[in-house]
A and B are shown apart, each in its own frame.
Chain A
Amino acid sequence: MTRAILVLLLTALAAAPFALNAGGLALLTEMLVLLAIAQSWNLLAGYGGLLSLGHHAFVATGAYLLFAVTRDLPVSPYIMVPLSGAGAALLALALTPVLFRLREVYFAIGMWVAAEIIKIVVSRLHYFGGSSGLPLYAARRIDTSWLPASAHWFALTLAAGLCLGLWLLQQSPYGLHVHAMRDDETAARSLGVKTRRIKGTIFVLSAAGCGMAGAISFLGTLYVSPVAAFDINWTVNVIFICVIGGLGTIRGPVLGVLLFVVLREGLVDYPGWSQIALGTIAVAVMLTAPKGLSGLLDRLLPRARTAARDP
Chain B
Amino acid sequence: MSAAIEILMNGLFLGGLYALFGLGLSLIFGVMRIANIAHGELAIAGALVLFTLSAAWPVSPLLLMPLVCAGAFAFGWLLQAQLLNRVLSPDPMPALLVTFGLSVVMQNAMVGLYGANSRSIDLGEIKTANITLAGQTIGWLPLGIFLLSLGLFGGLHLVLRKTRLGRAVRATSDDAETVALFAIRRRRIFAIAMAVSAACAALAGMLLASRSSITPFSGAERLLIAFEVIVIGGLGSIWASYLGGIALALVHVAGFYFDPASGLLYGHLMLLIFLLIRPQGLAGKVVTR
Q: Do A106 and B289 form a contact, CB below 8 Å, given A276-B108, A279-B101, A283-B105?
A: yes
A104 to B35, CA, bound (A): 10
* Interface: B220 (CB within 8 A): yes
B residues in contact with A105, CB < 8 Å: 29, 33-35, 92, 96, 289
A residues in contact with B100, CB < 8 Å: 53, 239, 282
Interface bits B161-172 vs A (CB < 8 Å: 1, else 0): 000000000000
Whether B228 contacts A280 by the Cβ 8 Å rule is no
Whether A117 contacts B269 by the Cβ 8 Å rule is yes
* Interface: A65 (CB within 8 A): no
B residues in contact with A279, CB < 8 Å: 101-102, 104-105, 108
Interface residue stretch chosen among A24-32, A95-103, A223-231, A294-302: A95-103
* Interface: B159 (CB within 8 A): no
* Interface: A275 (CB within 8 A): yes
Interface residue stretch chosen among A66-74, A107-115, A253-261: A107-115
* Interface: A121 (CB within 8 A): yes
Most buried by B among A113, A117, A121, A124: A113
A97 to B272, CA, bound (A): 11
Within 227-268 of B, Cβ neighbours of A (below 8 Å) are at 227-228, 231, 261-265, 268
Whether A109 contacts B262 by the Cβ 8 Å rule is no
A285 to B98, CA, bound (A): 9
Within 97-137 of B, Cβ neighbours of A (below 8 Å) are at 97-98, 100-102, 104-105, 108-109, 111-112
* In-complex Cβ contact of A120 among B93, B104, B265, B288 (8 A): B265
* In-complex Cβ contact of B261 among A124, A282, A283 (8 A): A124
Within 112-140 of A, Cβ neighbours of B (below 8 Å) are at 112-114, 116-117, 120-121, 124
Most buried by A among B35, B97, B224: B97
* Interface: B275 (CB within 8 A): yes
Whether B264 contacts A286 by the Cβ 8 Å rule is no
Whether B289 contacts A103 by the Cβ 8 Å rule is yes
Count of chain A residues with a beta carbon within 8 Å of a chain B beta carbon: 41
Q: Do A276 and B105 form a contact, CB below 8 Å, given A51-B93, A104-B289?
A: yes
* Interface: B86 (CB within 8 A): yes
Whether B104 contacts A236 by the Cβ 8 Å rule is yes
* Interface: B72 (CB within 8 A): no
A45 to B105, CA, bound (A): 21
A131 to B212, CA, bound (A): 25
* Interface: A232 (CB within 8 A): yes
Whether B92 contacts A104 by the Cβ 8 Å rule is yes
A53 to B224, CA, bound (A): 12
A128 to B244, CA, bound (A): 34
Whether B220 contacts A102 by the Cβ 8 Å rule is no
Whether A275 contacts B104 by the Cβ 8 Å rule is yes
* Interface: A156 (CB within 8 A): no
Interface bits A269-283 vs B (CB < 8 Å: 1, else 0): 001110110111011
A residues in contact with B87, CB < 8 Å: 286-287
A101 to B276, CA, bound (A): 8
Within 31-63 of A, Cβ neighbours of B (below 8 Å) are at 45, 49, 51, 53
Determine how close the nearest CB of chain B comes to the CB of A242; give it in whole angstroms.
Answer: 9
Whether B227 contacts A109 by the Cβ 8 Å rule is yes
A243 to B93, CA, bound (A): 11
Determine how close the nearest CB of chain B comes to the CB of A120; give it in whole angstroms.
Answer: 5
Q: Do A106 and B231 form a contact, CB below 8 Å, given A45-B93, A124-B262, A286-B87?
A: yes
* Interface: B94 (CB within 8 A): yes
A105 to B34, CA, bound (A): 7
B residues in contact with A282, CB < 8 Å: 97, 100-101
B residues in contact with A280, CB < 8 Å: 101, 105
Q: Do A287 and B271 form a contact, CB below 8 Å, given A109-B224, A239-B100, A272-B112?
A: no
Whether A110 contacts B275 by the Cβ 8 Å rule is yes
Q: Do A116 and B224 form a contact, CB below 8 Å, given A103-B289, A105-B96, A279-B102?
A: yes
B residues in contact with A220, CB < 8 Å: none
Determine how close the nearest CB of chain A comes to the CB of B43; give it in whole angstroms.
Answer: 16
Q: A49-B93, A276-B105, A283-B105 are in contact. List 6 more A-B contacts (CB 8 A).
A: A45-B93, A105-B289, A109-B35, A117-B272, A239-B100, A287-B83
Q: Could you list some 21 contacts between A and B, CB below 8 A? A: A98-B272, A103-B288, A103-B289, A104-B33, A105-B34, A108-B96, A113-B228, A113-B272, A117-B272, A239-B97, A240-B101, A272-B112, A275-B104, A275-B105, A276-B104, A276-B109, A279-B101, A279-B104, A282-B100, A282-B101, A286-B101
5 smallest CB-CB distances across A and B, nearest first, come from: A279-B105, A272-B108, A283-B101, A282-B101, A105-B35
